[in-house]
Amino acid sequence: MTYQIGQEVEGTVTGIQPYGAFVKLDEETQGLIHISELKSGVVKDLKEELTIGQKVKAIILDIDQYSQKISLSVRQLSLVNLKDTPIIKNNNVKRRFWTNYHLDFGFETIRLAMPGWLKEAKKRLGID
């Protein structure tokens, strides 16, 4: 079977390592779900999330053209399924962003500090 990036696949977990889980897609093809692609958030131990022999659905993230290694993601599959969810917009929410517009930063501050920096650098280098 030929696989394509973005294709949803189902496979069986055949091995679990600290960095990810190997998934058998068919008799000749195996893919890897990296620990960061299992779910959103922190996954400390894959053995708590997956078991060998477990069926998983995933999406193909990448296929290396030379080694034919397949990278899988369960997390991205859940995000793809969310795209059909309606988005509720709340226009009453006020967003506040921290800015430093009230502080006097800029090139003038650097110009004023430069003589002191040069003096300190020369002192460290032993150039007086």
**Continuous segment of H or E residues that includes residue 114:** helix 107-125
Write down the pTM of the prediction: 0.60
Q: What is the pLDDT of residues 84-122, one digit of tens each?
A: 555 555 555 555 555 555 555 566 777 888 899 899 999
Question: What does the alpha-carbon distance between residue 80 and residue 110 come to, in Å, rounded to a whole number?
Answer: 47
15 pLDDT more than 80:
yes
Q: Which of 27, 90, 83 is nearest to 59 (CA)?
A: 83
Looking at residue 36, the DSSP 8-state letter turns out to be: G
Q: What is the pLDDT of residues 36-48, one digit of tens each?
A: 888 888 888 888 8
Q: Which of 27, 96, 32, 97 is nearest to 64 (CA)?
A: 32
Q: What are the extents of the domains in the chain?
A: 8-82
Residues belonging to the chain: 128
Q: What is the pLDDT of residues 42-89, one digit of tens each?
A: 888 888 888 999 999 999 888 887 777 899 988 887 776 655 555 555
Domain range 8-82, CATH architecture: Beta Barrel (2.40)
